[in-house]
Amino acid sequence: MELIAPDAVLTVKIDAAHTDDQYELFEVDAPRRPATPLHRTGWAKAYYVLNGRMIVQVEDEAFDLGPGSSITIPPGALHTFTVLSPTTKFLALSLTGAMGRFHADLDATIPRDRPVEEIMHEIQQVLGRHDVTVAGFDAAGLEPVS
């Protein structure tokens, strides 16, 4: 199954339904484009780069990752990634099924034919339904936080 996000395509390799909701595995194909805003998720995850190059920011540290590199991201850590090569493919291992539920909701809710700036309201609604917060936005009020 493929899940479309504004910044990548996630192919479900191991579904949380088959692991008693303990973990799930995705293959992530991400093109070079502006980075996803810094965000926090309520679940831990790890990335393992298959090909391409990317910078992963976790809190105030940046990690330059290429093929064979990996990184872990604790739950609640402020993070994002930026693709440096034309595309990057990496595995994302997530503890619990929360990441899959979030991305399934995002895939079902977000129109694919409009720029991210035009669909921020829809994105904020999805964020509010899951344990995801974006730095600088209040999901409850859907307004930037000053």
Domains of the chain by start residue, with CATH: 2-138 (2.60.120.10)
How far is the C-alpha of 4 from the C-alpha of 2, rounded, in Å?
7
The answer to whether residues 54 and 30 touch, using CB atoms and an 8 Å cutoff, is yes
User: pLDDT tens across 102-140, in order?
Assistant: 999 988 988 877 777 777 788 888 888 998 888 876 544
Q: What is the mean pLDDT of the chain?
A: 88
13 pLDDT exceeds 80? yes
How far is the C-alpha of 37 from the C-alpha of 144, rounded, in Å?
13
| pLDDT > 70 in the chain, percent | 92
Q: Tell me, what's the pLDDT at 137?
A: 60
25 pLDDT exceeds 90? yes
User: Closest by alpha carbon to 63, among 91, 89, 84, 41?
Assistant: 84
Mean pLDDT of 31-52: 92
Q: And the tokens for 36?
A: 């996803």
* DSSP result, 74-126: -TT--EEEEE-SSEEEEEEEEESSHHHHHHHHHHHHS-SSS-GGGGHHHHHHH
* DSSP result, 57-87: EETTEEEEE-TT-EEEE-TT--EEEEE-SSE
Q: How confident is the model at residue 145 (pLDDT cuts 50, 70, 90)?
A: very low
Strand order in the sheet with 87-95: 2-5, 8-14, 23-31, 87-95, 45-51, 70-73
